[in-house]
Structure formats: structure tokens, C-alpha cells
């Protein structure tokens, strides 16, 4: 019997942050690791220590071992570290090389906030994301107990060296992704990466909404009014983040899924293209609608299943999947000008 190829056989990219806290908007990066894993080679581990420019709370320092004084003495400027980390991700992350991130909405959202803070730009999602926490919650929904990285590594018997050090956690995340892919080849391991990315968007949403419903049921049974209010407030926050995988705030582009920032970057040229020659854009789009409705339809369609591989919409989205945003903009501008 011939085994189907699995994305888990590599190459893989893994990423982890240690931070000043758990607020993805206001907290800062302290350490970061990007690990490139290529079959037959030793993992290439890159790490950074930043001076976050703010105090590192004692609670956070107890977790990862980096104090404010140590970061100020030995850390690099936060803006430089943030730029380096984003560049390191961009070097290998692509449609065929997934980024393994445990609890992606935390690490990627915090990195995005840091990019906006220091460089006034968004995180470019250059390829698919594999999040073992999301996968595990989908595969074994009703298992009791915590689902931290350490807990899942113990449950699946995955090696986890140097917990709460960015490099150790990134490597453990990649090993965990590999283990889940091999244990569940049909659902995970041989699933096309763009489809698996889309699956996780939906699974995360279902998981968040189910948890929010659970919190609201607890609130309904609570006898203390203050406790009930806290539970409802928490449920509202969980529900608000339901569409926040892999990044809580919009990033561009999301491979194989919605393209929330595409409109911001391509909208003018895309509208001109649609207005001039709508049949050259995408044959799957509804006919007879106004230009704005056509643009909205373009973002909503699953072009990869409805459109021929050689169609212009597929070419455009494939460019964006590989992170070639400038080339995508040039393509749309040329087509609009020539229509």
C-alpha cells in the first residue's frame, strides 16, 4: 500500500513568542523563535531577545525567566526585533510550507500588534497556518483537562524541551503538529494545506461559540449576580474572537479563505477591472449585479473549487497565497488598463 504524501513530512516552519503578558493588543514581545525544519537537515533555530521598552511583570518573568533588567541589558531594540522576526517568517513561509503555531491567535495577533506599533504595517500571512491546539480541540472535543502546550505534549507523548523558552516551545509545536498529522492522516495529515487552513478557521469559530454558550449557561445558573455578570462578560469576549483565527485582527492575505485586507489594497483597480470587463475576472461571479456587488462577490467566492486553474482570479489569489502582493496589484492594474 502506498501512503499518501503528508505536508507533515516537511518542510515546516515553527514560531513562538514569550511576552510581557496575555493581552495581544497592549503586551510586548520579550523573546521570539523561528525554527525552519527541512527533511534530512538539522532544524535551523533563530532566536531574539528584545528590550520591550516597558516593565516585564514579575508574573511573566517567573514564566519565561526574563526580567526587566536582563532585557534592558541584553535585549535588542524592540522595533528591530519585530522587523527581523517578520522578515524571518517571510523567508520560508509559503503555500507549501506551513507555519506551526500553538494557539495562533495569541502569537500572531501579538506580532501583528507589534508590527503596527513599530512599523505601521500588518502581518502578511504568506502561507497556511497549522495550530495543534485548534486541531486537538477538534479531534478530541470532549476530553477533560487543560490543553496547554505542555499538557498536549504529555498527552501525545511528544518531546518538549525547555518549556517556556521560545525555541523549545516552537520545536515542540512542530513535533506536535507532526504527531497529529500522522495519527489522523485523512482528517489532518493528507489534507491540502489551504483546505486545512480553512478548516481551522471554521473549527476555531465553532469552538469559541460552543465555549461562549457554555459560559452563558453557567451565568444563567449562577446565584451570585457579580459572578453571573463576569461570566457573561467573558462569554461576550470569547464570542467576539470567534472569527479571530489565525489572527484576531485582520491581516492580509488569509490563504484559501477570506481576504479582508485585499479590498483595502486592490479595491480601486479591481473595481475598474470588473467594471470594464467583468467576464474576464471570474466566470463564477453573478451576472447583472452592480460593480460593488461584484467586488463583494469576488471576495466571498471559493475560487479554488469553482474556477479553472488558469482563470485570472486563480492566478491573482495564487500570487497572494505566495505573498507576492506587489505582483498581484500589478496584474490587476494591467488587466484593468487593458480591459
Q: Is the pLDDT of residue 104 over 70?
A: yes
pLDDT tens sequence across 54-89: 999 999 999 999 999 999 999 999 999 999 999 999
pLDDT class for 314, splitting at 50, 70, 90? confident
Residue positions counted in the chain: 339
User: Going by C-beta distance under 8 Å and a sequence separation of 6 or more, which residues neighbour residue 124?
Assistant: 86, 90, 251, 252, 253, 323, 325
Q: What is the pLDDT of residues 250-287, one digit of tens each?
A: 444 444 443 444 444 455 556 666 666 555 667 666 66
DSSP track, 197-225: HHHHHHHHHHHHHHHHHHHHHHHHH-SSH
Report which of 106, 147, 86 is spatially closest to residue 248, judged by C-alpha positions.
106
Average pLDDT over residues 289-305: 64
In the chain, what are the domain boundaries?
A: 7-199, 262-338
Q: What is the pLDDT of residue 77?
A: 97
Mean pLDDT for the chain? 85
User: For residue 132, what pLDDT band results from cuts at 50, 70 and 90?
Assistant: very high
- The whole model's pTM is what? 0.73
Domain 7-199: which CATH number of 3.40.50.11810, 3.60.15.10, 3.30.420.10, 3.40.50.1000: 3.30.420.10
Q: Per-residue confidence at 109, pLDDT binned at 50, 70, 90?
A: very high
The pLDDT of 211-226, averaged and rounded, is 94
pLDDT of 175-202, one tens digit each?
Answer: 999 999 999 999 999 999 999 999 999 9
Amino acid at each position: 500500500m502506498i501512503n499518501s504524501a503528508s505536508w507533515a513530512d516537511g518542510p515546516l516552519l515553527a514560531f513562538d513568542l514569550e511576552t510581557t503578558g496575555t493581552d495581544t493588543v497592549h503586551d510586548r514581545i520579550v523573546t521570539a523563535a523561528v525554527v525552519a525544519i527541512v527533511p534530512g537537515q538539522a532544524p535551523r533555530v533563530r532566536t531574539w531577545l528584545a528590550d520591550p521598552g516597558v516593565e516585564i511583570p514579575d508574573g511573566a518573568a517567573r514564566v519565561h525567566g526574563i526580567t526587566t533588567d536582563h532585557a534592558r541589558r541584553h535585549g535588542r531594540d524592540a522595533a528591530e526585533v519585530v522587523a527581523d522576526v517578520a522578515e524571518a517568517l517571510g523567508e520560508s513561509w509559503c503555500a507549501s510550507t506551513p507555519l506551526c503555531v500553538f494557539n495562533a491567535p495569541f502569537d500572531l495577533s501579538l506580532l501583528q500588534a507589534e508590527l503596527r506599533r513599530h512599523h505601521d504595517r500588518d502581518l502578511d500571512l504568506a502561507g497556511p497556518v497549522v495550530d495543534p491546539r485548534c486541531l486537538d480541540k477538534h479531534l478530541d472535543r470532549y476530553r477533560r483537562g487543560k490543553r496547554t502546550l505542555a499538557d498536549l505534549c504529555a498527552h501525545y507523548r511528544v518531546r518538549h524541551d525547555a518549556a517556556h523558552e521560545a525555541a523549545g516551545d516552537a520545536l515542540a509545536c512542530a513535533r506536535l503538529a507532526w504527531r497529529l498529522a500522522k495519527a489522523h492522516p485523512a482528517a489532518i495529515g493528507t489534507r491540502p494545506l489551504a483546505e486545512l487552513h480553512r478548516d481551522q478557521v471554521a473549527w476555531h469559530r465553532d469552538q469559541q461559540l460552543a465555549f461562549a454558550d457554555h459560559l452563558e449557561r453557567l451565568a444563567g445558573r449562577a446565584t451570585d449576580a457579580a459572578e453571573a455578570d463576569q461570566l457573561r462578560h467573558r462569554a461576550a469576549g470569547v464570542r467576539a474572537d470567534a472569527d479571530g483565527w489565525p489572527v484576531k485582527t485582520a491581516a492580509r492575505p488569509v490563504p484559501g479563505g477570506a481576504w479582508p485586507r485585499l479590498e483595502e489594497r486592490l479595491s480601486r483597480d479591481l473595481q475598474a477591472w470588473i467594471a470594464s470587463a467583468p467576464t474576464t475576472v471570474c466566470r463564477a461571479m453573478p451576472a447583472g449585479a452592480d460593480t460593488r456587488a461584484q467586488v463583494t462577490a469576488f471576495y466571498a467566492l471559493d475560487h479554488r473549487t469553482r474556477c479553472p486553474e488558469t482563470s485570472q482570479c486563480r492566478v491573482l489569489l495564487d500570487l497572494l497565497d505566495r505573498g507576492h502582493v506587489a505582483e498581484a496589484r500589478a496584474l490587476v492594474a494591467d488587466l484593468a488598463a487593458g480591459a
